[in-house]
């Protein structure tokens, strides 16, 4: 990836027969550019090229795991254009460095964890609470302002809302103010959703 603005574009490389199966859109590779090796991502495979001149060979595949998805690529393009930056700089922030252990374990984690249906009773104490859970489960727009009742365990209700969304096949991002709240919410969420499908991030991680 080259951060120089005038080199923020696609380059074509030849792929050997031995590498062909692993070289798929989204995977990390290493290529030789002006005499030095640089990391890159495969954007597409083509049988022809618009390049005039001799093509170089792709050096090696760093990982066969496709991490640059079409959705991430679109966001990177928008982010770079909006902030007048280069796509490589945005990519470094959008896609974490490779972690071989995480790649090996990724295939063992179910994409959609199996969880029990959410009991809407507690949310039923709030106006349109049950409809709120249904909207989360169905993927419908659900804008809400919620004030927990006295004595309410707020983390349990948030965990139920998260579980409702996951039941419908959706992801959830929950943001809380401090480590104590992170710990409380994490405990409530992992009581309903497999901990292999839950990640907690905090400032203490660096």
The average pLDDT across 21-46 equals: 94
| Mean pLDDT of all residues in 61-71 | 92
Non-local (6+) Cβ contacts of 46 within 8 A are 12
More confident residue, 11 or 92: 11
Q: Is the pLDDT of residue 204 over 70?
A: yes
The separation between CA 25 and the C-alpha centre of its own chain, rounded to angstroms, equals: 16
Report the pLDDT value the prediction gives residue 84, as an integer from 0 to 100: 84
What average pLDDT does the segment 104-133 reach?
Answer: 80
DSSP, res 26: T
The count of domains in the chain is: 2
| 84 and 136 co-located in one domain | no
In a domain, 112, yes or no: no
Task: With beta carbons less than 8 A apart as the criterion, state whether 165 and 133 touch.
Answer: no
- Asked whether residue 103 carries a pLDDT value surpassing 80, the answer given is no
Q: Say if 118 falls within a structural domain.
A: no
Domain harbouring 16, CATH code: 3.40.1440.60
Question: In terms of Cα–Cα distance, which of 14, 98, 97, 5 is closest to 59?
Answer: 14
DSSP string for 112-140: S---PPPP-TTGGGSTTHHHHHHHHHHT-
The average confidence (pLDDT) of the chain is: 89
Q: Nearest CA to 89 among 206, 5, 28?
A: 5
Secondary structure of the chain: what % helix, strand, coil (to 5)? 35, 10, 55
- Over residues 18-35, the mean pLDDT reads 94
- The pLDDT, as a whole number, for residue 202 is 87
Task: Identify the pLDDT of residue 98.
Answer: 75
| H or E, element range at 166 | helix 154-167
Same domain for 102 and 129, yes or no, is no
> Is residue 34 situated within a structural domain?
yes
Together in a domain, 93 and 13: yes
Please indicate, yes or no, whether residues 38 and 98 belong to a single structural domain of this protein.
yes
Strand order, beta sheet including 28-33: 36-41, 28-33, 60-63
- Shared domain check, 137 and 89: no
Question: Is 28 inside a domain boundary?
Answer: yes
C-alpha separations of 107 from 26, 69, 72, 96 in Å? 17, 17, 20, 18
Domain that residue 163 falls in:
123-205
116 — pLDDT class (breaks 50, 70, 90): confident
Last residue of a domain, one of 43, 72, 106: 106
Mean pLDDT on 61-80: 92
Residues 94 and 146 in one domain: no
- The answer as to whether 117 is a domain residue is no
Q: Which tens digit of pLDDT belongs to each residue from 171-202? A: 899 999 999 999 999 999 999 998 888 999 88
For residues 70 and 36, membership in a common domain is answered with yes
Q: Is the pLDDT of residue 143 over 60?
A: yes
**Same domain (yes/no): 93, 170:** no
Same domain, 89 and 161: no
- CA dihedral 62→8→93→14, nearest 10 degrees, is -10
């Amino acid at each position: 990836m080259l951060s120089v603005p005038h080199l923020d574009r696609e380059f074509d490389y030849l792929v050997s027969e031995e590498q062909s199966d692993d070289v798929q859109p989204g995977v990390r590779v290493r290529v030789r550019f002006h005499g030095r090796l640089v990391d890159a991502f495969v954007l597409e495979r083509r049988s022809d090229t618009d390049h005039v001149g001799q093509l170089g060979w792709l050096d090696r595949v760093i990982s066969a795991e496709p991490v640059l998805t079409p959705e991430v690529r679109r966001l990177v393009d928008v982010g770079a254009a909006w902030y007048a930056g280069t796509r490589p700089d945005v990519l470094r922030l959008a896609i974490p460095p490779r972690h071989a252990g995480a790649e090996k374990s990724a295939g063992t984690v179910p994409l959609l964890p199996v969880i029990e249906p959410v009991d809407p009773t507690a949310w039923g104490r709030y106006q349109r609470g049950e409809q709120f859970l249904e909207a989360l489960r169905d993927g419908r727009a659900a804008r809400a302002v919620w004030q927990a009742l006295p004595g309410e365990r707020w983390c349990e209700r948030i965990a139920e809302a998260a579980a409702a969304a996951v039941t419908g096949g959706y992801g959830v991002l929950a943001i809380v103010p401090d480590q104590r709240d992170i710990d409380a919410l994490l405990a409530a969420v992992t009581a309903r959703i497999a901990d292999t499908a839950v990640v907690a991030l905090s400032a203490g991680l660096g």
